Chains A and B, each alone.
Chain A
Amino acid sequence: MSFRKCADLVKGVHMIDELKKVLSLCDEKYADARYEVDEMTRITYRGSELETFFNSTESGFHLRVLAEGGLCTSSFNEIGSFPQVLKETASTARVARRYRDKEIDFTLGDSVNEKVTPSPKEDPRKVSLEEKFGLLQHYNEIVLSLPKIQSTTFSYKEWVKTKLYVNTPGSVVEQQQILCIISGEIVARDGNVMENVRVGVGGSDNFGKLRDREDVFEKKAKIAADLLKVDKVTPGTYRVLLNQSMVGVFIHEAFGHFSEADLVNENPGLLKRLRIGAELAPGFLSVIDDPCEYGNQGYYVYDDEGVRGRRTYLIRDGVLSGRLHSMETAHDMGEELTGNGIAVGWKYTPIVRMSNIFVKPGHADFNELVELVHTGVYICDAKGGSTMGDEFAFGAQYGYEIRDGKMGRLIKGINMSGNLFVTMKNILEVGNDLMFEESGGCGKDGQTNPQSGTGGPHTVIDNVIIG
């Protein structure tokens, strides 16, 4: 079947019938198939010049076969090769079984037959290209006109994903997901000194969230310029106040990845420390993952295994109370399905991902938190983070000294790191001002997921290593 026919079919139910027809040839224990059409629009300015503009579409298939306790998956482009791929995938799955002592099996979700169509407040597909160019140029010009700004890289990014999912027990899910973001980097320079900060707005299917955000871009450009003349933080161990952006990244990197079952299920030592019921944090701390948080980056209705997403309490009142699962890990660990099996496009197989992870707000207001720190550092706006084993590290774009319970001077070069278990116990208080990030993504197993939401209220942590 030609590409064009496939593209036409996806508009109707024909592709679902094709997928069902191919899967009916499979006599193994379980199989599922996805067909995905990803339309991407991107406009990028570097400095005052347009670097790139495109609006293109990729499409392809992903097949999974569970055969005799082994699992194999295949990603491919051509539907014509489907029967052959099915055969090879099944035989490779049987090979996989021979090299493990335990069968792989799935906990299946409810059988569903549903079509999910988004209804954005302001649909980016209905906004003219000229307007998208104009808005991006407008923000870019504001930043470039400010003192000391050397360079910018700003992009408008829009994804429209149409996904079909069919499995052998009979589930059919057709869903469309839309995401639009304006994000980028600002570089300020004075002689040989250069500083960079990041900025991002949007992160939902609502184009309206991108409008009237001049203040965000102006504030960030000013901070980049101010950073040129301030000192770096002195390395050491501090009591810190994290702003909402930092809390979101902290909870994602330091803890969230360990709630992804596929990162812990084959690590007996770590799993022992992360048993459900383990006291991980003070009693006032609760952490939630929720794909149903509409308007935030990690919003979806069904995951890529046809399982409906739901709210999961990962930590409730300081105690580990849940874990995020795919169908494979839920069966392996004997825990409930959570709907977190996500694949970033047809080229990839679903793995366990966070959706919108956030710290539940408490009662303290900002000033109370500053007083609680008394002497330390206020750390603002995430600049990327990562996890390696039980150690985490992430950067901040800027910060302020806190002295005698009062906000002090601007500082830069802040990176914090630590051990998950030690740092979680060192959380002293959470604020009442929950906020979600609007841009950012998460990389895992070679899949960079732009639909990864993080959030939290201002939070105080003791004894954090700053380098």
Chain B
Amino acid sequence: MKELLKIAKDHADAAEIYVTKKKVTPLQFENSKLQKINLSSTLEVALRIIRNGRLGFSFGTSLEDPHTLLKQAMRSAEHGAHVDFQFPSDSSQEPLGNYDPEALSLSAEELAEELSHEIAWLNTQGVDAPIEAGIIVETEELTILNTSGVEVSHRASAVSQYCMLILEGSGVGPLVEDVRYTYRKLDRAELQKLCDLYRLSQKKCRVPTKKMKILLTPHSIGEVVMWRIESAVSGRSLFDHITPLENRVGEKICDEQITITESPRKRNLVGSRPFDDEGVTTQDLPLIEDGVFKNFVFDLNIGKKLKKQSTGNGYKTTFWGGDISTPVTAYLRQPVFKPGSLSASEMVKEVDEGVILDLANGAHSGNIPAGFFSVNVGFGLYVRDGVIQGRAGDAMVSGNIYDLLQNVHSVSRELNWRGLPYLLLNDVSVAGESS
């Protein structure tokens, strides 16, 4: 790594090396049978240089051939974008409590044994459903070096667990999901709730075409609401003038029950990071506070263009995903909601007529920059008079999040593993099959 930095320094005005080492052990049961196990152990490296005011970029899968990486970055810089930012000269590598070496010591056999116990227990609960379940253990070590003096490293682990009971003749059903930096058995109470939901879902209900309440679960809020907010608060969208939040810092944009804070430094959460993908120290930053829009987020490049400091939000990520080839852009890392006062089950009782939208199908289409969504109810439940009636039949839920967040009934007191709540919205447009 240091050799690459040294030769890059000789040929460029500034340079940055990004190296990620990942190890993944995924175990997945389908129809209660363990499927093939796809192990992976990979190293990827990216080089950014600034030469004559232009940005050069290259990437590869080995540090053993630094000259090829440099040659490709120099060629890229010959044609590259004009930039005037500088790489940071100091950075934090404070551990954030999201790495557990013990998680790695679990063998594939031990993980398979644990999962098969959970499945055996589910089979004793009188639920006759094909079960899909999995445990994925991942570790990542990210190292960033630059010619301004930063040399930081962060290790993180993630143990993802999920379990879905597949409804007859379908490919979906109720789902429980948990992701932590360390291994913890899935909660039996959660699995019991899954069985209860499966039984309730046996009846398929026709959903009328009208405006009604929608209860977004943490699964659906991530795609339906957060993708649109992530697009809107990005400094990149501000620079391109394609955010509805332009010139609205300090303005009330939604119900005062909504408070969302970018929380990359929150301890023990899987996504926490002491520094971003440019080596800039991260910070917790209010995005929406009591309904008032507070901040955009910036990376080095866009921050400089807009005469702002980077907020430590330069990531190789978009909502379509990201990999070593993805250019750094201004993006949220870990937005966390402020919890409300009602429990999710109390919120269901507040629904006179509505749909609990758990799995939203098609959230990635629609006019995302403007906040519109229109999703099919992949898995959801129809509610009347505060009681779940059965699985919601063919229906679409649509609207604009900036309109709907003005009309919030309540936010749940429980947050999921990534800080997302249940959110009950009033008067949402639903198109059902019986219209």
Contacts and interface: CB of A to CB of B under 8 A. Distances in A.
A384 B431 CA distance: 20
A85 B40 CA distance: 10
Interface stretch (A207-215, A286-294, A410-418): A410-418
Given A195-B370, A395-B362, 13 more contacts: A75-B39, A88-B39, A99-B33, A99-B115, A189-B241, A235-B209, A235-B430, A235-B435, A388-B379, A415-B374, A417-B375, A419-B394, A448-B320
* Pairs A-B, 5 closest by C-beta atoms: A467-B396, A395-B365, A393-B362, A388-B378, A393-B376
A60 B40 CA distance: 11
A151 B242 contact: yes
Contacts of B394: 391, 417-419, 422, 465
B365 A394 contact: yes
Given A58-B59, A394-B365, A417-B361, A272 B169 contact: yes
Contact of B130 (A73, A268, A418): A268
Nearest to A195: B367
A236 B431 contact: yes
A49 B81 CA distance: 7
B364 A384 contact: yes
Interface stretch (A13-21, A40-48, A432-440): A40-48
Interface residues of B, number: 86
B60 A57 contact: yes
Given A395-B365, A467-B396, A58 B324 contact: yes
Contacts, number: 293
Nearest to B359: A388
Given A2-B64, A267-B130, A467-B398, A386 B364 contact: yes
Main secondary structure on B side of the interface with A: mixed
B102 interface: no
B274 to A, nearest CB: 26
Contacts of B432: 465
A349 B36 contact: yes
Contacts of B346: none
B37 A96 contact: yes
Given A151-B241, A413-B374, A466-B431, A92 B379 contact: no
Contact of A3 (B62, B171, B173): B62
B76 interface: yes
A389 B379 contact: yes
Contacts of B41: 74-77, 85
Interface string A179-201: 00000000101001111100000
Interface of A: 2-4, 7, 40, 42-44, 46-47, 49-60, 64, 70-78, 85, 88-89, 92-93, 95-96, 98-102, 104, 129, 133, 150-151, 187, 189, 192-196, 235-237, 263, 266-270, 272-273, 328, 347-349, 383-395, 413, 415, 417-419, 422, 448, 465-467
B250 interface: no
Contact of A267 (B31, B62, B241): B31
Contacts of A388: 171-172, 359, 361, 376, 378-379
B395 interface: yes
A415 B64 CA distance: 49
B369 interface: yes
Nearest to B112: A99
B242 A189 contact: yes
For B62, B325, B376, the residue with the greatest tally of chain A CB atoms inside 10 Å of its CB is: B376
Given A76-B42, A192-B244, A237-B433, A465 B29 contact: no
A2 B394 CA distance: 56
Contacts of A59: 60-61
Contact of A56 (B59, B80, B171): B59
B366 interface: yes
B209 A267 contact: no
Contact of A77 (B34, B55, B61, B79): B61
A403 to B, nearest CB: 19
Given A104-B36, A467-B397, A467-B429, A92 B108 contact: yes
Nearest to B75: A55
Contact of B240 (A52, A93, A150, A268): A150
A194 B244 contact: yes
Interface in B392-435: 394-398, 429-433, 435
B72 interface: yes
A328 B419 CA distance: 39
B57 interface: yes
12 contacts: A3-B65, A46-B240, A52-B55, A74-B40, A96-B112, A99-B34, A194-B367, A194-B369, A266-B35, A266-B130, A393-B375, A465-B431
Contacts of A194: 242, 244, 367, 369-370
A39 to B, nearest CB: 10
A43 B325 CA distance: 12
A342 B112 CA distance: 27
